Amino acid sequence: MSVIFTAYTGTFRNIEETESKGDVYEMARIALERMKEDLESATRSEFVGEDAEIDGSSADTLDFVSRAHIVLDEEDEDTGPAKIVYYVKKNDNEEDGSLVFYRSDTPEFEERPEEGTGGLVICDGLSSVDFTYYDDKGDVFDAWDSADKSGEEKLPKMVSIVLGFINKSNPDAPLKFMTSVELPMSMPGEKSGKSS
């Protein structure tokens, strides 16, 4: 009986780990696709990326104007560009020190929520959120502020995103997901937010 019980518990543990990792992969895929769409529709108005930490873990924020506003209420009309804010908070409901990643979407001319509030959870169970910015010369920046830039350089040429998720089966090896997004509006002569 003990041999059979050990075999069954091992099998169920493997199934649980596989399902948990499957949920993480799906969450990461959806989050990265949403961010890619938002960034590809960014306008030259304002773009601020801050290099931040929470308890020693990377918890970067990103604040920009995009044409990728999501209309959630059927009665609302598409009001044009929206202020998109991605920010991170510590998950106070978990003891594992995990982070929660939020996306706030406010039409450009409406009042924005207070900093670090509002929006919806885009994913949780994170160990880190890291953005890296590249200019048209290929130089790398941990932060970006369009107010410090001029002309065509108001937006970065490319943004790299790395989401680290807590790996319950091996806490020392977080599950990392990465993508890079080229911003079409950063290219000289481009008038639309569409990539070719």
Q: What is the pLDDT of residues 17-32, one digit of tens each?
A: 555 678 899 999 999 9
Does a structural domain hold residue 194?
no
Does a structural domain hold residue 191?
no
Q: How confident is the model at residue 194 (pLDDT cuts 50, 70, 90)?
A: very low
DSSP state of 53: E
Does a structural domain hold residue 103?
yes
Q: Are 184 and 195 in contact (CB under 8 A)?
A: yes
138-193, pLDDT tens digit by residue? 999 999 999 887 665 689 999 999 999 998 888 889 999 999 999 987 655 444 33
Does a structural domain hold residue 16?
yes
Does a structural domain hold residue 50?
yes
69-98, pLDDT tens digit by residue? 776 555 556 567 889 999 999 998 877 889
Burial code (b: 16+ CB inside 10 Å, e: under 16) for 141-164 equals eeebebeeeeeebbbbbbbebbbb
| Structural domain total, the chain | 1
Pairing between β-strand 99-107 and β-strand 82-90 as defined by DSSP bridges: antiparallel
The whole-number pLDDT of residue 153 equals: 67
Could you list the residue range(s) of the whole structural domain that residue 52 is in?
2-186
Joined tokens for residue 103 = 């996306």
- Is the confidence at residue 51, as pLDDT, over 50? yes
Give ∠ CA 139-143-144 in degrees, rounded to 5: 80
Does a structural domain hold residue 124?
yes
The whole-number pLDDT of residue 96 equals: 81
Single-letter amino acid code for the residue at 56: G
